[in-house]
């Protein structure tokens, strides 16, 4: 019998019309009109939608092809259809021997990965399935995952004279006791070591709300860029280490906001491409799933 694999991300709007619904589900309320307009403007600047749903679907299709006929793979999202609970039921209806829920963020925090797992478990408690369901997360040390970033960095013609800035989504300091920050930092060290990136590197935290009511992880990307410029560097390469696929935090926060900020400081700017559905990352996902099923 086959193994069902569900690849889970947060999801994103497929059009400008879907933005209000997505944001409402994501933050649990509707934004005031000026704030919603600002969000819509950001999505317009990246093409009017998020590519995350499409990319996750491509990852699922590529992973199923790589794993072979004994596996079924499907994408699922926390805040957009197909939702996690719907996909669990749909996958179970196909009659697999077991289901793996593969969280596509390798870094564990209760507000993302933990939330997705809780959502699935709450559904399963109310609507038990006839097949076992297991969750795969915190795979940040997987060697092929590390190697997929190393290949991306090398393939992007990394400049040894440039400063390499790794970035990841920040969280409020009250989440500091969770694994997330340490896992990000460990991944940076592993990738930098394998890629031969020496002392000219740092980790910056991004995507902090403009009106955050509490302190978040720092230093921010902008603070890092300030220090890099003061140190006399003229070239900056940003690695979106905290993300495995493109969405608004890479396409707007990095490609537009960080690029503009760096260039205003006199730095040339380049971003290493996201892993998306590239062959190295699919090899990593295959290894992760294979280990979880043997």
- Does 104 share its domain with 194? no
What is the reported pLDDT for 160? 63
Q: What is the pLDDT of residue 85?
A: 97
pLDDT at 54: 98
The CATH number assigned to the domain holding 223 equals 3.40.50.1400
pLDDT tens per residue, range 11-63: 999 999 999 999 999 999 999 999 999 999 999 999 999 999 999 999 999 99
pTM above 0.85, yes or no: yes
Q: How confident is the model at residue 159 (pLDDT cuts 50, 70, 90)?
A: low
Query: Do residues 74 and 135 share a domain?
Result: yes
Q: Are residues 106 and 41 in the same domain?
A: yes
Cβ(6)–Cβ(74) below 8 Å: yes
Q: What would the pLDDT profile of 199-222 be if each residue is shown by its tens digit?
A: 899 999 999 998 888 999 999 999
The predicted-structure confidence for 125-153, as pLDDT tens digits, reads as follows 999 999 999 999 999 999 999 999 999 99
Q: What is the mean pLDDT of the chain?
A: 96
Question: What's the total number of domains in the chain?
Answer: 2
Regarding whether 45 and 106 lie in a shared domain, the answer is: yes
Task: Tell me, yes or no, whether 45 and 154 share the same domain.
Answer: no
- If asked whether residues 210 and 85 sit together in one domain, one would say no
Which residue segment(s) compose the domain that 189 sits in? 143-271
Per-residue tokens: 51 = 């590519």
Q: Are both 131 and 19 inside the same structural domain?
A: yes
Please, is 69 exposed, middle or buried when counting C-beta atoms within 10 Å of its C-beta (0-12, 13-18, 19+)?
exposed
Same domain, 38 and 126: yes
- 132 and 31 in a common domain: yes
What is the distance between the alpha carbons of residues 133 and 103, in angstroms, rounded to a whole number? 13
* 239, pLDDT greater than 90: yes
Max alpha carbon distance in the chain (Å)? 62
Q: Does one domain contain both 122 and 152?
A: no
The answer to whether residues 204 and 102 belong to one domain is no
pLDDT digit string (tens) for 54-101? 999 999 999 999 999 999 999 999 999 999 999 999 999 999 999 999
Predicted confidence at residue 126, as pLDDT, reads: 97
- Considering the domain architecture, whether residues 205 and 249 belong to the same structural domain is answered as yes
For residue 119, the SS3 value is helix
Q: Please say if the pLDDT value at position 250 is more than 80.
A: yes
């Amino acid at each position: 019998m086959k193994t069902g694999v569900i690849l889970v991300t947060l999801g994103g709007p497929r059009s400008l019309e879907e933005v209000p619904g997505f944001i409402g589900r994501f933050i649990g309320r509707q934004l005031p009109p000026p704030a919603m307009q600002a969000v819509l403007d950001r999505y317009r600047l990246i093409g009017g939608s998020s590519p995350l749903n499409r990319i996750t679907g491509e990852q699922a299709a590529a992973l199923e092809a790589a794993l072979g006929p004994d596996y079924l793979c499907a994408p699922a999202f926390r805040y957009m259809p197909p939702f996690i609970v719907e996909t669990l039921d749909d996958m179970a209806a196909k009659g697999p021997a077991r289901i793996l829920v593969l969280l596509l963020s390798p870094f564990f925090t209760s507000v993302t990965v933990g939330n997705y797992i809780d959502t699935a478990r709450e559904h399963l408690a109310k609507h038990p399935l006839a097949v076992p369901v297991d969750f795969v997360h915190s795979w940040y040390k997987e060697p092929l995952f590390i190697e997929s970033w190393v290949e991306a960095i090398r393939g992007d013609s990394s400049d040894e004279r440039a400063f390499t800035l790794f970035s990841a989504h920040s969280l409020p300091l009250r989440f500091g006791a969770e694994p997330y920050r340490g896992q990000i930092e460990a991944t940076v060290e592993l990738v930098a070591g394998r890629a031969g990136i020496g002392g000219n590197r740092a980790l910056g935290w991004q995507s902090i709300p403009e009106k955050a009511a509490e302190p978040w992880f720092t230093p921010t990307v902008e603070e890092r860029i300030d220090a890099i410029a003061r140190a006399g560097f003229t070239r900056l390469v940003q690695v979106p280490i905290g993300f495995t696929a493109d969405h608004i935090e890479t396409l707007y926060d990095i490609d537009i906001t960080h690029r503009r900020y760096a260039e205003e400081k006199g730095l040339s700017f380049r971003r290493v491409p996201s892993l998306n559905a590239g062959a190295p990352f699919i090899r990593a996902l295959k290894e992760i799933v294979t280990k979880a099923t043997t």
